[in-house]
Structure 1
Amino acid sequence: MGIGGGIFLIAVGAVLAFGLSPDMWEILNINTIGFILMGAGVLALVLAFAMQRQRQHRDTSHTEYVEHRDIGNPPPPAR
């Protein structure tokens, strides 16, 4: 989902939780849905930051092996 999706969920949840009256609809409690969306948004933000940090701090050391041969003194020929 990412950082943008988490912020979007928090914003929509805040509008539903604090901007609308709770008795607007009789079937669903809009305030409860807003708090659930805000919680999901916070969870999405935490997971996005954790995944981003994990990608940045991955230990990616590269080792290069170079083989040098000294051909100035070749070994004696095999008999």
Structure 2
Amino acid sequence: MGIGGSILLIVVGAILTFGLDDTDLGPFNLDTIGWIFQLAGLFGLLLTLYFWNTRRRTVVRQVPPPPPAGGTMIPPSADEVIERRRTY
């Protein structure tokens, strides 16, 4: 549902519950329908916030390629910056 849909349900439910004078629409009671909308919106909002806070955050780390097999190469330290430039 999302935050927008949840807030929309809460607002429509509050209008149906508190904003209307005539609370009966045939066999339906608009106060009850408004309370149901508000509770569904609140439940959806809490569920959305719960899943937003528990989602995993992925950290991507680049692993340098292994050194060539033929020679011995000293791996650079974490503080070194290797720069290769081509001049034309």
Identity, % of aligned positions: 39
Structure 1 unaligned runs (5+)?
73-79
Shift in Å, 1:54:
2.3
Aligned residues: 71
The structure whose residues are more often strand, as a share, is: 2
TM-score of the superposed pair, with normalisation by structure 1: 0.71
Partner of 1:5: 5
Decide whether aligned partners of structure 1 residues 9 and 23 sit closer, same or farther in structure 2, where only a CA change above 3 A counts.
closer
Alpha-carbon RMSD: 2.3
In 2: Cα distance, 1:29 partner to 1:21 partner: 12
Q: Report the AA paired with residue 9 of structure 1.
A: L
Structure 2 unaligned runs (5+)?
73-88
The structure whose residues are more often helix, as a share, is: 1
Runs of 4+ in 1 over 4 A off after TM superposition: none
Structure 2 residue 67 is the aligned partner of structure 1 residue 68: yes
